Amino acid sequence: MKSLLLAAAAASVLAFAVPAAAQAPQPTPAEAKAFIDRAEAELKEADAFASRAAWVRANFITEDTGWLDTKASAEQKALVTRLAKEAARFNGVAVDPVTARKLMLLKLYMTLPAPDRPGAPAELAGLSTKLNSIYSTGKFTWRGKTLTLNDAEDVLRTSRDPAELKAVWEGWHSVAPVMKADYPRLVELANEGSRGLGFKDTGALWRAGYDMSPDEFTAEADRLWTQVEPFYRNLHCYVRARLNEKYGSAVQPRTGPIRADLLGNMWAQEWGNIYDVVEPKGFSAGVNLEKLLVAKGYDPVKMVKTGEGFYSSLGFAPLPQTFWERSLIVRPRDREVVCHASAWNLDGQDDIRIKMCTKVTAEDFQTVHHELGHNYYQRAYKGQSVLFQGSANGGFHEATGDFAALSAATPTYLQQIGLLDTAPAADQDIPFLLRMALDKIAFLPFGLLVDKWRWQVFSGEVTPDTYNDAWWKLRLKYQGLVPPAERPADAFDPGAKYHVAASATYERYFMARIYQFQFQRAACAQAGWKGPLHRCSIYGQKAVGEKFNRMLELGQSQPWPQTLSVFTGEARTDASAVTDYFRPLNVWLTQQNRGERCGW
């Protein structure tokens, strides 16, 4: 759990402002090493308690479990704040490289660092728990029925009635305005804590987790976006035209932005659910994974077992029995839970679990492979010391599971595991690539803008009275989307996204969408694959799995470019692997868009 919520490594961070009197006498390297050893021991104990409190609260949402989670989180925040302040004593001390890296990681340990003053950690933890619980227990009434987010997502996924889509989209977003009163205070406290650690604001702290300065990371993310933006605009143009043909210009005009509720997902972050609307003509029906799963008698547990089988085929050890005893795999009927899928390691060793309200759908089949990737990564780096038990950078953890899901999506893999009798011919690849692009490519701008919005909020560029306007300004700029109707004055639409309500960083998902294709390109080359990149499945490739695990075992013990090169031979993030994978589709989309006024 820790590695999914906490910041990763950075090469350069701002130093603490330490009074001159505190710098004398100069601490020794030996004292710095002793401090880190003690800090890691304290962190291990605090993390174990906080993780279990968070697990219980996520699986049993009550006032009491919220209180326990808040208390544990506050104590953890207070500890980390104190240790980070103590680490400042060793600024300028000629410590060994390992100790130096751990001192730096200690400053980046918390996503929301608390101010170092009485009451502040408890207040910040309380706000975090409150916002998370509001989201996780959110419900609204529609046509006389009380709907949860899961219910609303089902409507967005299956309905093709624009009035119904609009009503349900607005219904879910109505749970968020109550968060708006507390969110500025959370920002204020987190910024105070971040400044106490030497950062300009919390957004700068988050961006420092990539072995580069915050400004360098901003430029790096923008560079990667420019590599993939033309393809996204091509996809947007094609999808808009099909939506126009489906609903007419009164609902979706042929030009300009797309109405966000028409794309099959509550946040329009992935569009695969509307494949039936945008399905290309002149091709066979393609593979309907959901129908295959139902026909083969899959249930949620069998889906997770299949995911485990993928990793076992690469040479990874089976999941421990405790995984099956302690994970939440289906939504219980008797209590409130946080259904957002997540992977946990509660003891830094082998107590790995998933928490997921799994349904027998194509989307959840992919999600299972993704979440298990987190668990196998967590177990791979368990031999590292506490401060090195984490992702090489935030994107690596997400990319590990997404990389597995790339294989899991291919007809090649579905045939390998007996779900599909015969893979479609190569001349039928456009439907498969379009399905993939509707999720992978459509996600990219959303993956970038969520934290761009928060960076602007943390910096003060966006103020509480402009929260929602700034949100939709970014969604228009990057995604080319607009809401289905004018938003009310009290709207807080960012809060209708889990990661905003839960203060979980999001830039890692954007980076992961790039890394996974780099991993795929490298893995398929290692496996000797000669066909198109999008048809490659690494199922059963134990040599690839062994090399991949060598990268995972490193955790965050060294700068991520070195870790990336262990598996891929590359030391820089490169989105050209994305365009390599989707090249046939991009050519086809260009042909389909002739005569259209692309852009918005």
Q: Which residues are catalytic?
A: 340-341, 370-371, 374, 398, 499, 509
Regarding beta strands 145-147 and 140-142, do their DSSP bridges make them parallel or antiparallel, or are they unpaired?
antiparallel
Residues contacting residue 165 through CB under 8 Å, at least 6 positions apart: 155, 156, 159, 261, 262, 484
Q: Are 33 and 231 in contact (CB under 8 A)?
A: no
User: Which residue has 């990057």 as its token pair?
Assistant: 478
Structure tokens at 241: 């035209």
Backbone φ and ψ for 596, nearest 5 degrees, come out as -85, 150
Q: How far apart are CA 439 and CA 443, in angstroms?
A: 6
- H helix or E strand, kind and range, residue 142: strand 140-142
The number of residues in the chain equals: 600
Q: Are 435 and 272 in contact (CB under 8 A)?
A: yes
HEC-encoded secondary structure of 456-470: HHHHCCCCHHHHHHH
Q: Is the peptide bond before 25 cis (omega within 30 degrees of 0)?
A: yes
Q: Are 263 and 236 in contact (CB under 8 A)?
A: no
Q: How far apart are CA 410 and CA 535, in angstroms?
A: 6
Residues contacting residue 488 through CB under 8 Å, at least 6 positions apart: 177
Q: What is the DSSP letter of 316?
A: P
- For residue 564, how many C-alpha atoms fall within 13 Å in the half-sphere facing its CB? 26
Q: Residue 583: how many CB atoms within 10 A of its CB? A: 15
Structure tokens at 215: 């400004």
User: Which residue has 């803008």 as its token pair?
Assistant: 449
Q: How far apart are CA 423 and CA 411, in angstroms?
A: 5
Residue environment code for 136-170, b if the CB has 16+ CB neighbours within 10 A, otherwise e? bebbbebeeeebbbebbbbbbeeeeebeebbbbbb
Backbone φ and ψ for 142, nearest 5 degrees, come out as -145, 125
Structure tokens at 302: 């069998």
Structure tokens at 84: 């980070």
Q: How far apart are CA 475 and CA 260, in angstroms?
A: 10
Q: How far apart are CA 247 and CA 260, in angstroms?
A: 14
Q: How far apart are CA 413 and CA 407, in angstroms?
A: 6
Residues contacting residue 502 through CB under 8 Å, at least 6 positions apart: 128, 131, 132, 135, 340
